[in-house]
Structure 1
Amino acid sequence: MQVSVETGDGLTRRLKVELPTEEIEQEIEKRLQNHARSIRLPGFRPGKVPMRLLRQRYGDSMRLEVFSERVEASYPQAIAESELRPAGRPEIEPDLDLAARRYAYVAEFEVLPDVELASLEGRSLARPQVDLTEADVDETIERLRQQRKRWESVERTAETGDRLTVDFDGQVDGEPFEGGRGEEVRIEIGAGRFIPGFEDQLIGASAGDERSVQVSFPETYPQASLAGKPAAFKVKVKTVEAPSLPEVDAEFITEFGVNDGDLERFRADVRANLERERSERIKARVKNQVMDLLLEANPISVPSALVAREVESLRQQMQQQLGGGGAGIELPDELFADNARRRVALGLIVGEVVKANALSPGADRIRSAVEETAASYDDPKAVIDYYYADRERLATVESMVLEDLVVEHVLDQIEVTDEPISFSELASQQ
């Protein structure tokens, strides 16, 4: 077997492989002879068909069969000999010249880039430093009240914060479009869940009113056929409701697990949850900065095959999040491309950091991570058992711990300063 490599654009490689002619032709002859014992042709007894006729009738198909098997068997060996690291499946192009008795093929694929980690000397990041206040507790309790608000019908015009029940019929370029019609749809003015500008044009409407709403779909709208286009909606307002917030009393407090309804105990629980959230957000913020720093310090090309695979993974995740509401919505590659490239690049760089520094998560640290995750559930032991009952589940925790080790390794090499900010600022950064 003779192997040669050509370098194409970027990470593309063309692997040329010439297979041993004698071995292939001997195998073809061997198989034809084996088939000769069982093949039946008119005018010949079993096992008496001339080899010349067998080669004429079955030679080409047998040759392709043997050639395909040799390609499949030789490709991994050729890759190993060439010391290449393919990033995806190859495109195989046969290169056959039967007159010259040449059996060869060309495999084209992308390779993983060589990552040479740059020094992080002189680089820095700011770690948020957040002091929780009673105002943060008050704000959180107010959000909990908002989550449990009730709606009461009102005999007045709609204001920001009200909820309207409407029927609507939309058109683009004078024609109806998929998803442009709705009945008994609830719209909370100011929530920002509809096309920008739609909710604002319902302020001042009363039950029974009909309004004409003119909007434009965002350029980044997931349904590509509607992105950036103006739309006209006829909207009939059926009801107007105002929010009614619950009092922070014993009945309200017991809904959050404080069975005796004690306000101080409730506030202490809220603070404890905020402290846990603060730690998680600070950790995530620092991790994001570390990953940004690694990307900036180590610019690399990424294989398009890996990016395409990551794009598909992100698309499936979004479709799952949308659930039934995502049916029929086009999710173009461009929507995920930048994030996919970032994730692929980080995966390669982080992998090199792990390899270069022999980082490995210990069993104790993995156990601590599992227990920390389980602590927020009603039955922590059941959650711990859940992870340890399946190797793949535990592997996800191991990957997170390994990323934490990478973050710690980077933090040891750079300057870290504390940045005092409020809890609300920290939450808005994520």
Structure 2
Amino acid sequence: KSSTMLRQVDACIRNGIKKKIHEKTLPAPMISRCDYSVWGILKKCIGMELSKITMPIVFNEPLSFLQRMSEYMEHTHLIHKACTLSDSIDRMQLVAAFAVSSVASQWDRTGKPFNPLLGETYELTREDEGYRLISEQVSHHPPISAFHAQSLKQEFEFHGSIYPKLKFWGKSVEAEPKGTMTLELLKHKEAFTWTNPLCCVHNIIMGKLWIEQYGTVEIVNHNTGDKCVLNFKPCGMFVKELHKVEGYIQDKSKKKRRVLYGKWTECMYSVAPKVYEANKKKAGKGDAKKNKPTEVMPGVQETVSVITGSALLWRITPRPPHSEEMYNFTSFTMTLNELEPGMERLLAPTDCRLRPDVRAMEIGDLDTASVEKDRLEEKQRAARKEFSTDEEEWSTRWFRLGTNPHTGAQDWLYTGGYFDRNYTDCPNIY
């Protein structure tokens, strides 16, 4: 019987989460938010930490934050390519492009993911892309999500823990994704670390919601001393800077080796510093066009002006034509909640594909989704109260709090064992 079950599980792996599934739509279109006002809920919360504020479920999207975090992996081909290169600066270019691409799916994503329950997990295995990922909600207060992705051919490991801090500032909501990303290229014995930029949702009071990323992202190669500094430019009063990313790569002697430029919503290019500076001087001598101030995101995106001699590092994958009706999901995102027949036997019982509130919202049943969300949150509160009464501490299943060997800072590290498929100690959270 056990061998038969293993064969069934193997078949499930091939036909389920390991085989690339081209899901081009969701079971139901996005639920309308026209009858709801974000401002009506948030106007009393200016300057407060939003993780403690209960928002109506209509503002959610049918994904857990753990699934949204896995969207970092959409452009994994950049890591694979970096692994094949012999020059450390060339590898840094692609790591920088990957860091930019990992936030690209947030473009126009104004829905809020479901807050993961303590102990919730998400598994993503992509045999076609050559990796597998496991994530776990390791803390509830503060909310911390940890993830670990590894190459199926032992080429790389990519891991981190995110503590998203959300604040409301009157006309906008700002998200600070506190936590460090670590990418290890195993063949080259290199480790890169960086922190994601700030994200801001504008026009909360009125008008079309739009998103910008801004702040300085510093990527460090801890083995060579190479560094990449990327500036995600804020829009400010002028549309010209919207979505722009500019930066440079320097070696350990602080000599600039490459200039990077582009937009996190479109593409990234690399060019020699001398060529970039010459182009900048040439542009400065021309007739500069006046930029018109803007208060909303323009309907048509400005394209990147390519400097002669530049190399394309990354271009965003086009979204499906019906994406706007599907929470502005990418094609990759639409596959994240797929649950093929038989997959329940393979997944941990804590996997967020099994969450009833997310499932109900995905099919457009808002009432059931709301009831289930309340039930799960109450169950979580009761479990926490029971732990407090028994004077026991919650124990994470797949991650432990330790020290990041490259930064020396505290980090949640994967302890291994998830893919052995032994889930007997998993908590009953649903």
Structure of larger gyration radius: 1
TM over 0.5: no
Structure ranking higher in helix proportion: 1
The TM-score with structure 1 as length reference comes to 0.18
The TM-score with structure 2 as length reference comes to 0.18
Structure ranking higher in strand proportion: 2
